[in-house]
A and B are shown apart, each in its own frame.
Chain A
């Protein structure tokens, strides 16, 4: 059985068969190998059938044999439609012209887009493309092919590491990948490296400049460690001194640790209050009643109704009250001392900066009084001691 589309392309006719032996005609037609469909009785001794146009003509001998007559009711399908159109010449020409015009217009570049440029101006890229023969209303066959275009554009545009030209119908997209430039170093003026603290130098490493001190020498704050002035008095040049100097620095920390420590802990009891929030007003919904505890910490959790990025003035606030209590703890003096020292070391190391290291520590003085431990501790810390100092030229 053929599909509707195939039937339509081949063309078929709807016939009305008139005669007493309609069934006989159908049988004979089938025996001849004709395809029939939509057979319908339309009245007394009348049958409507559909049959391919070609077979309809061959039906004639059968009609004579069976004594039936036919009337054509409808002609359908491509062959009949084509015959009809061939009579309407202007329409047919219009259809052809339309296709031709569409083809003609699609052979132009209508639009040039630039993508991916950050620091290069779009107009600059478009200008370069125009010089290479890529611009709106350019006829496509006259345009160089995209590979050549992208190569030419890349050589023409400075600061690009890749340029791609993509032709999509009448739209051309120029994709630009800009070259990453190395970061520029901040400008620095000529300088010396000087000591920032009184210290004993332990290590000195000059990357640029002239080291003026040796390890194990004592330096005062402000002494030049690495000089930015090179050469002797007659041949001099001034550079940016660079390097590092480590030294041992002394600190004396005064430490005070109370023997009674107070903590806040949670008892585990809790209560939840819920609020409906309208604008800036909150309406309590649940959790009424007296609190079974006095001391507590509040943990609020706020949810707002939101649609995409638009916040609605309606929300929900859930407040958790956690019961807490204050616990006091009595400490042994030794324990308090350890704690105080630990604290002091951490303070000193954070003050000493990167790579600071405690060399030695010594408790100078210690007493327990009024429920507190007082201590004075001397620390020797090895840390970076250099500081930058610009060289100011005088008398020039």
Chain B
């Protein structure tokens, strides 16, 4: 049943030309140069140090590596990271 709903949502999103993140519960990641990263729809911080940040997503995890990483602001669903970002890895 849940998969059916998911499929239905995907179908409508494709038909109406809507962005996926609006319809589905998947993150939207905005990156400005290599200095700012904005993640919406995350599910919490798994690990945080100045070199590495691991975020829990609804499906899988996101690993951000870099230098002098700072969480500029964080809310229950969105996070703004600043620093020198070297790598973003998406892990299932």
Asked if A31 lies at the interface with its beta carbon under 8 angstroms from chain B, I say yes
Q: Once the chains bind, are B76 and A30 in contact (CB under 8 Å)?
A: yes
Query: Nearest-CB distance from A386 to chain B (Å)?
Result: 97
Query: Which residues 20-34 of B sit at the A interface, judged by CB distance below 8 A?
Result: none
Asked if B86 lies at the interface with its beta carbon under 8 angstroms from chain A, I say no
Chain A interface SS verdict (over half): mixed
Q: Once the chains bind, are A40 and B44 in contact (CB under 8 Å)?
A: no
Residues on the A chain within 8 Å of B76, using CB: 30-31, 33
Interface size class, chain B: 10 to 19
Q: Once the chains bind, are A40 and B50 in contact (CB under 8 Å)?
A: yes
Q: Which of A20-28, A322-330, A358-366, A374-382 is the interface stretch? A: A20-28
Residues on the B chain within 8 Å of A22, using CB: 48
Query: Which residues 203-244 of A sit at the B interface, judged by CB distance below 8 A?
Result: none
Asked if B70 lies at the interface with its beta carbon under 8 angstroms from chain A, I say yes
Asked if B74 lies at the interface with its beta carbon under 8 angstroms from chain A, I say yes
Q: Once the chains bind, are A30 and B72 in contact (CB under 8 Å)?
A: no
Q: Once the chains bind, are A23 and B74 in contact (CB under 8 Å)?
A: no
Q: Once the chains bind, are B48 and A41 in contact (CB under 8 Å)?
A: yes
Q: Once the chains bind, are A37 and B72 in contact (CB under 8 Å)?
A: yes
Query: Nearest-CB distance from B37 to chain A (Å)?
Result: 14
Query: Which residues 1-39 of A sit at the B interface, judged by CB distance below 8 A?
Result: 1, 22-23, 26-27, 30-31, 33, 35-39
Residue-wise, chain B 66-88 has the 8 Å CB interface mask toward A (1 for contact) of 00011111111000100000000
Residues on the B chain within 8 Å of A40, using CB: 50, 70-71
CA distance A79 to B76 in the complex (A): 26
Query: Nearest-CB distance from A198 to chain B (Å)?
Result: 106
A22 to chain B: closest residue by CB: B48
Asked if B39 lies at the interface with its beta carbon under 8 angstroms from chain A, I say no
B50 to chain A: closest residue by CB: A41
Residues on the A chain within 8 Å of B58, using CB: none
Q: Once the chains bind, are B74 and A39 in contact (CB under 8 Å)?
A: yes
Q: Once the chains bind, are A41 and B74 in contact (CB under 8 Å)?
A: no
Asked if A47 lies at the interface with its beta carbon under 8 angstroms from chain B, I say yes
Asked if B14 lies at the interface with its beta carbon under 8 angstroms from chain A, I say no
A31 to chain B: closest residue by CB: B76
Most chain-B Cβ atoms within 10 A of its Cβ — which of A1, A33, A47? A1
Asked if B46 lies at the interface with its beta carbon under 8 angstroms from chain A, I say yes
CA distance A307 to B48 in the complex (A): 68
Asked if B47 lies at the interface with its beta carbon under 8 angstroms from chain A, I say yes
Residue-wise, chain B 40-53 has the 8 Å CB interface mask toward A (1 for contact) of 00001111111000
- Give the B-binding residues of A (Cβ under 8 A): 1, 22-23, 26-27, 30-31, 33, 35-41, 47
Extra A-B contacts (4), CB below 8 Å, given A23-B48, A26-B48, A27-B44: A26-B74, A30-B75, A35-B73, A40-B71
